[in-house]
């Protein structure tokens, strides 16, 4: 009986895989198709090393110069033979227009890592996204940007002093990526949550609980694993998994307590002034979201939505910011002439006075360097979309009118690849 059951399951599996492969024929003869054993975007692609016979997550960056070589449509359909669903990889400009157009048939792919604590403006779609955006958008204003400037200056001074870098001619070799990640996570944590942070802090408090810094840094370093692995894995007797579980559970408890404390503070301020004055008082993003939740009507938010939005802003934003800074500083170190040029542009703009927020709009040289760093090493070089309904993906070849149509069923994945361009 068991043998018959196993044979039946095996037969169904083989038939489904054959059906998947045959369906790929509908993409047309001019669309390049690759038949790997496993999908590179499968969870196992985040675990296995990069092998010649198995592309893993990140292959599109490593092969950015050759992936579409000789491919007129700049599109590849990956059809996994053993596990995973087919998906389309494209750098075709028509695909971008298709996917990003208003009321497009394509929607954001699910991102479980950023939905860890609740739905938010990054992960939601449709009317839910509109509601989240309407509530969160006012939190990003001139006061917030001033806060970002002031906090960045404080974090920079803290880093220089605690690492002993101030006033010295040279320092020992250090990992610039670690430094920029720590700067970025401090910045978004302080500005986003109004959580005080110290550059040097013990891993655990006197009561044995994770310190705030350790909790935040552990979460920042384990988002991918948390989003991909089932919850029971974090209960296994391995220290790394248990530390991740402790960090995420501690963060949720921490945020719930902060929501309660902030509501009490808002109620006290409401009793002494108007809502307009209160809105000016609450400068951080977290405070504005709590204030919106306490308001009536369309601006109501649940605890999980508040935590989810703050979580997404902090932990989705810190990675891109940190990598952009690391690329910029690395390139300036490699090209001292350009480093001297941007230094002189800052001196010409600011002079010998302390820089202020009002100088920000005039630092054109710094902005130009940042843009060039992002062009050479884009921090967001992949956009994942899913077809929200049965549709087609139209592709053009150069400037010609001929189109190749890729039929896509609801739930199919497409990845728009942002490539480095040389002008």
The pLDDT, as a whole number, for residue 274 is: 59
Burial string for 190-214 (b: 16+ CB within 10 Å, else e) reads bbbbbbebebeeeeeeeeeebbbbb
- Beta strands 382-387 and 106-108 are antiparallel
Q: Find the mean pLDDT for residues 158-164.
A: 87
Neighbouring residues of 189: CB distance < 8 A, sequence distance ≥ 6 = 195, 197, 216, 314
Cα-to-chain-centroid distance, residue 255: 21
What pLDDT, in 10s, does the model give residues 8-24? Answer: 777 877 778 777 777 77
The pLDDT, as a whole number, for residue 344 is: 93
Whole-angstrom CA distances from 281 to 266, 269, 276, 289 are: 10, 9, 9, 13
The pLDDT, as a whole number, for residue 405 is: 57
28: number of CA atoms within 13 Å, CB side? Answer: 16
Q: For the chain, give the mean pLDDT.
A: 79
With a cut of 50, say whether residue 64 has pLDDT above it. yes
Which candidate, 241, 236, 156, places its Cα nearest to that of 190? Answer: 156
The pair of structure tokens assigned to 294 is 């306490």
Predicted model pTM: 0.77
What pLDDT, in 10s, does the model give residues 166-175? Answer: 888 888 888 8
What pLDDT, in 10s, does the model give residues 78-136? Answer: 888 887 777 888 888 878 877 777 777 778 877 777 777 888 888 888 888 888 888 88
Confidence of residue 407 (pLDDT cuts 50, 70, 90): low
> In this prediction, what percent of the chain has a pLDDT beyond 90?
8
Spatial distance between the Cα atoms of 193 and 258, rounded to a whole number of angstroms: 9
Neighbouring residues of 222: CB distance < 8 A, sequence distance ≥ 6 = 244, 247
> In this prediction, what percent of the chain has a pLDDT beyond 70?
88
The pLDDT, as a whole number, for residue 417 is: 47
The pLDDT, as a whole number, for residue 328 is: 92
Worst-scoring range by mean pLDDT, 206-210, 332-336, 363-367? 206-210
CB 185 within 8 A of CB 216: yes
The pLDDT, as a whole number, for residue 343 is: 92
Helix axes 364-376, 303-334, angle to 10 degrees: 100
The pair of structure tokens assigned to 81 is 């033979």
The pLDDT, as a whole number, for residue 423 is: 24
What pLDDT, in 10s, does the model give residues 25-52? Answer: 777 777 888 888 877 777 777 667 666 6
Any bridge partners for residue 413, and if so which?
87, 386
More confident residue, 58 or 146: 146
CB 245 within 8 A of CB 235: yes
The pLDDT, as a whole number, for residue 340 is: 94
């Amino acid at each position: 009986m068991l043998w018959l059951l196993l044979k039946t399951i095996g037969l169904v599996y083989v038939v489904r895989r054959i059906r998947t492969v045959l369906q790929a024929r509908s993409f047309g003869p001019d669309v390049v198709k690759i038949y790997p054993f496993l999908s590179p975007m499968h969870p196992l692609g985040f675990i296995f090393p990069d092998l010649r016979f198995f592309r893993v997550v990140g292959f599109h960056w490593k092969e950015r110069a050759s992936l579409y070589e000789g491919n007129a449509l700049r599109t590849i359909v990956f059809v996994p033979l053993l596990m995973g669903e087919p998906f389309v990889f494209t750098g075709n400009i028509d695909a971008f227009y298709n996917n990003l157009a208003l009321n497009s048939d394509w929607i954001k792919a699910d991102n479980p890592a950023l939905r860890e604590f609740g739905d938010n403006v990054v992960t939601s779609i449709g009317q839910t996204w509109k509601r989240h955006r309407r509530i969160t958008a006012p939190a990003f204003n001139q006061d917030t940007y001033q806060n970002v400037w002031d906090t960045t200056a404080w974090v920079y001074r803290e880093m220089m002093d605690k690492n002993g870098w101030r006033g010295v001619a040279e320092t020992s070799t250090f990992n610039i990526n670690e430094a920029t990640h720590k700067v970025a996570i401090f910045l978004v944590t302080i500005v986003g949550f109004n959580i005080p942070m110290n550059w040097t802090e013990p891993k655990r408090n006197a009561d044995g609980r994770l310190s705030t810094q350790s909790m935040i840094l552990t979460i920042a370093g384990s988002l991918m694993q948390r989003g991909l692995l089932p919850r029971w894995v974090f209960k296994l007797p391995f220290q790394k998994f248990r530390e991740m579980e402790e960090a995420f559970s501690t963060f949720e408890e921490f945020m719930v307590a902060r929501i309660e404390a902030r509501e009490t503070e808002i109620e006290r301020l409401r009793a002494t002034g108007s809502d307009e004055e209160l809105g000016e008082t609450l400068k951080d993003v977290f405070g504005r979201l709590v204030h919106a939740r306490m308001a009536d009507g369309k601006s109501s938010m649940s605890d999980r939505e508040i935590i989810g939005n703050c979580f997404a802003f902090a932990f989705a934003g810190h990675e891109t910011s940190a990598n952009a800074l690391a690329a910029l500083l690395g390139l300036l170190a490699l090209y001292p002439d350009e480093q001297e040029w941007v230094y002189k542009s800052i001196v010409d703009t600011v002079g010998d006075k302390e820089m202020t927020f009002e100088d920000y709009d005039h630092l054109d040289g710094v902005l130009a360097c940042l843009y060039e760093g992002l062009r050479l090493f884009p921090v967001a070089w992949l956009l994942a979309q899913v077809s929200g309904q049965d549709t087609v993906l139209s592709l053009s070849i150069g400037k010609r009118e001929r189109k190749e149509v890729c039929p896509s069923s609801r739930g199919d994945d497409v990845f728009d690849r942002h490539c480095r361009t040389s002008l």
